[in-house]
Chain A
Amino acid sequence: MACFVVPAAEAVITTVAAKVLEKKESASESVQVSFNGVTTTEAVKIPFSRKLKWLNNLLWGGSALLAFEHVWHGEVTPWFPFLTATSNPVDAVEMLHEMATAGISMTALVTVVWLAMLGVAKIMEKNAIASAKTLPPAK
């Protein structure tokens, strides 16, 4: 009914957070890394604000396509009150229940997947740096 509103709300918060972080972040120091285990390259780690944008993209993209599905099913209209379920109290209660269950679960799953991506990225970063240490420095 309006489950997409919950991830969209998180998307607003994370977008603002990413913008604020981007302004505050200082330039990362460069490190020697190896992408292929054969040669080394000088590179900088991507900042956290950029990783936060991954979450923004997942949340905004998913919410936009889900919003379309709700338009398709006549649950969202381009005129007031926009969410058809708000026009009567029984439907409104059902809508709030759906937001509290499906909406929060969707947001949680997307966030957990993003956290897993951060974990994998951290391991890959460590491996690339560790691999470079075993190789002769780049000329």
Chain B
Amino acid sequence: MTLLTTVFAAIICTVIWYRNAPESQMHTGILCWMYWGASLMWLVDAVFEYIDVHEEYFTPSPADMLNDLYLGLSVVALGLIIWLVILLIKDPKGVIKASLFQKKDKSGNHR
């Protein structure tokens, strides 16, 4: 379930990235790399688990599924937080930088 959640997140982010490409002002590429990297790694984890438990891998208990879904969603949220921090630090639109300054009008007053 964690693998599935991350793969869906990776696909959605890749579609969003492609729609906006070659513009990359929102740095959605970061999310694509992160989720695809994690998906590949969890795929290997899934293969090893399958080798261990065989068919049982495809019939998890509802409690395990729920726990894995909860973990998957938390991973997606963490990825989004990392992306948001990078976006705000890079500040490609200059919004944060602009909010740190007050513009002066022609008469010298602050706005």
A residues adjacent to B (C-beta < 8 A)? 3-4, 7, 54, 57-66, 68-69, 72, 101-102, 105-106, 109-110, 113
Given contacts A64-B82, A65-B78, A109-B41, 14 further A-B contacts (CB under 8 A): A7-B41, A57-B37, A58-B33, A61-B38, A62-B36, A63-B41, A64-B78, A68-B74, A69-B75, A101-B48, A102-B45, A106-B45, A109-B40, A113-B40
Interface of A is mostly: helix
Instruction: Name the A residues within 8 Å of B29 (CB-CB).
Output: 57
> Contact partner of A64 among B2, B34, B44, CB < 8 A?
B34
> Contact partner of A109 among B35, B44, B71, CB < 8 A?
B44
Q: How far is the CB of B37 from chain A (nearest CB, A)?
A: 3
Q: Which residue of B lies closest to A35 (CB)?
A: B22
B residues adjacent to A (C-beta < 8 A)? 2, 6, 29-30, 33-45, 47-48, 71, 74-75, 78-79, 82
Q: Which residue of B lies closest to A65 (CB)?
A: B38
Given A57-B30, A57-B34, A102-B45, residue A65 in contact with residue B79 (CB < 8 A): yes
Contact, CB under 8 Å: A4 / B41: yes
Given A58-B37, A61-B35, A61-B37, residue A69 in contact with residue B71 (CB < 8 A): yes
Interface of B is mostly: helix
Given A58-B33, A101-B48, residue A106 in contact with residue B40 (CB < 8 A): yes
Given A65-B79, A68-B75, A69-B71, residue A60 in contact with residue B37 (CB < 8 A): yes
Interchain Cβ contacts under 8 Å between A and B, 30 examples: A7-B37, A7-B41, A57-B33, A57-B34, A58-B36, A58-B40, A60-B34, A60-B37, A61-B33, A61-B34, A61-B36, A61-B38, A61-B79, A62-B36, A63-B37, A63-B41, A65-B6, A65-B35, A65-B75, A65-B78, A69-B2, A69-B75, A102-B44, A102-B45, A102-B48, A106-B45, A109-B40, A109-B41, A110-B41, A113-B40
